[in-house]
Structure formats: C-alpha cells, structure tokens
Amino acid sequence: MLSSLPNIYLHPTPVSLHYLICFTFILPFSFCSTRSLFTCPTLCTCYPSPPTASCQSQNLSRVPFPLPSLAQRVFLQNNHISEIGPGLFSHHTSVLWLFSNHISLLLPGVFNGLENLEELDLGNNPKFPFLQSDTFDGLKSLRSLHLYRCHIYRLPSGLFRGLYSLRYLYLQHNRLTVLPVGLFRDLFNLTQLFLHGNLLQSLPAESFFGLSSLDRLLLHNNRLVVVSPRAFVGLKSLTILFLFNNSLPALPGDCLKHLTSLQFLRLNGNPWHCDCTCRSLWGWFHFTPGVSSSPVSCNSPPALKGRDLRILEERDLWFCTSNILPSNVNLSGLAFPPKPSSFYIQVDPVAVLEAREWDEGGGESGNCATILTEKWYLLISILPMLSWKVNI
C-alpha cells in the first residue's frame, strides 16, 4: 500500500492527510494520534517498500521515539543503546535488529504485543541483562532469534515457551554451562540450534526434548565431558551434529542411536580414551556406515594414541583402563576441570585394574561388566598396565 505513497512516507505529513489515511486504513484514532505513521526520526532513513526505519551506526544512546509505526523493518544495530522498554516498537514490526549495542536493561514487557515479529537480533550485546521467563512471551510469529555473544551464562527454563514458529535459534558464543530441563519443549518447528562456543560440560537425558524438526545441532567448542545415552532423545530429524573440540573421553553409542536421520557427525578434537568405554561408540559406527564422520583419534591409552577409533579392531577395546566417572553421577551438578590437557592424570602403574562402567544406559555393548569376565580380570591383573585417573 505504502509503495504508492513514497513521498508521504518520507516526509512529515500534513495533519489532514495523516488522519485521512488513518481512517482509510481503518486504524484506531488513538493509535494514529499518539504515534507518527510516517515521520522519519532524525538520524534515521526511512524507506517505503517494505516500510523501513533504518537508524544503524548513528551513535544513538536510545531508541528514537516515535518510530514510524507502520515500519515493518527497524534497524538499530551498531549504536550505543543501553536500555529498551515497552511501547517503543509497533505491532507492525516484523524485523528488529538491535545487535551490537550496549543493552544492559530490558524493561518488563519490552516485546509485548509484537505478534508479527519474525526476526529479532539482540546479538553482540556484551552487557546483556539476565533474561526473564516472560521476556519473549507472545512472539508467536518469531522465526529467528539471535542471542549470540551476549555473555549469557544462564537461561530460565520457560524462556522459549510458546515460540511455536521459531526456526533458528542462535545462542553461540555465550557462557552457558548448563541447559535447563525443558528449555526447548515448545520449539517443535526449530530446525537449527547454535550452541557452539559456550561452556557446556554435560548433556543430561532429554536435553533437547521437543526439537522434533531440528536439522542441525552445533555443540562444538564447548567443554563437554559427559553426554547421557538419552541426551538426544527425540531428535528424529537431525542430520548434522557437531561435537568437535570438546573434552569427551567417550560417548555412549546409545545416544547416537536416537538420531535416525543423522548424516554428518564431527567428533574430532576430543581426548578419546579408546578402551571399553568407547566400545559402544565403535559399535555404533559399525552398524551405521551411512553417516559421514570426521576422524575419531584416540588420545589414550598410549598404545592406541593417534589411531582412529572407527577402524580399530573390536579386541582393541576389550580392556577397561579408565575410571572416568562414578556411575551415580548427578549430571546437573557437575563441575569439571575445563580442558582436555588437565583432564587425565597419569598415575603409577598398578597391578590391578578396576573395571568401572560409567555409561548410565547400561546393558549395552559399552558395559564393561559384560565384557570382562572373571577370566579376563585374572589375566589383566598380572599385566603391568597403566591406569588412568580423572582429576575431578
């Protein structure tokens, strides 16, 4: 509609015409009188088609008010905005870019009523405040939410509730150490989830519950040490999984069994400890030949260092040489030393090896107890082998 009225949109409008158009569009009188439909704020440039207010890179310390209320696209990136509150953006807004500002205060209700908002970019706001559960309430059209590089260390579990349209969620390069239970419950239309470059240490069971349309899950450059066999339950559409550059000594093959659509897997850059704890992962590779995978280089034990787990013989993984985690570990309260280099401490060779099983799934091929019969204990107990102990 507005494309036929470029001049009116670009310049302050005579009052009579302003009201005429308000009534033509059948908009409430109060709406027209309190907001400017067409006036472009100083320091902004406005375009008619689609209606756009472009105010980026102007050293603005606050959101210009009023913004043209019919503007569908509002560009405010690369400014010095520190505070945003309710009433600044109209319900016509479908694209709102606020990235690279200094937002440190979000007043309650800031996004209330933005039912047409499809894209919200709040990335690269390094002083970002703690997000409240209701911050994004009612954004039923939101397709793309950018919260990267916001120094976020914690998310409330209800933050994404009701965001049924969300397709892309950008949470990379923050400081998340855990994902609250049920965080993604309502996001059954999400296709891409970016969590790389955080400080995640563990993925408990059903971490991604609800994400039945998810196609790619990026978890590289975290500090993952433990992944539950049930961590990926429900990710039936996932085709791409990145877990490279973490601190994983093992990965239960069971967790990958839930990923029935998986095509690309990257596991490189982890301190794989190739003993019985990796046997279920080895087995998964053998029974799932169609998946394209990065190398899985063993970091230990010394005899297998540098070998690719995928092409080892099954007998290479008979022995249990590690004592990685107590079996009753509480995943939500884990605190691990951060990097692979400090993860293992080599202790003096001991004659007797303990066969411990950390894979909480149990009963599957990774279960040492089923591999190591008493005969093997006897044999191993006389071998002067290295034992590896975790520095927790």
Ligand X SMILES: *[C@@H]1O[C@H](CO)[C@@H](O)[C@H](O)[C@H]1NC(C)=O
Rule CB under 6 A: which residues touch ligand X?
Answer: 58-59, 164-165, 188-189, 221, 223, 245, 330, 332-333
Nearer to ligand X, 5 or 240 (CB): 240
Q: Please give the residue whose beta carbon sits closest to ligand X in the complex.
A: 333
Least distance to ligand X, CB of residue 244, Å: 8
Least distance to ligand X, CB of residue 119, Å: 14
Least distance to ligand X, CB of residue 43, Å: 8
DSSP conformation letters of 73-142: EEE--SS---EE-TTSS-TT--EEE--SS---EE-TTTTTT-TT--EEE--S-TTPPPPPTTTTTT-TT-
Sign of the four-CA dihedral 322, 324, 326, 327: negative
Distance CA 192, CA 165 (A): 12
Q: Are 201 and 336 in contact (CB under 8 A)?
A: yes
Expressed in percent and rounded to 5, the helix, strand and coil fractions of the chain are: 20, 15, 65
**Which class for 201: exposed (0-12), middle (13-18), buried (19 or more C-beta within 10 A)?**
buried
310 three-class SS: helix
Nearer to ligand X, 39 or 78 (CB): 78
User: Which amino acid type is present at position 257?
Assistant: K
Nearer to ligand X, 202 or 277 (CB): 202
Least distance to ligand X, CB of residue 248, Å: 12
| DSSP classification of residue 288 | -
Nearer to ligand X, 47 or 188 (CB): 188
Least distance to ligand X, CB of residue 164, Å: 5
Nearer to ligand X, 93 or 221 (CB): 221
Nearer to ligand X, 31 or 164 (CB): 164
Least distance to ligand X, CB of residue 338, Å: 8
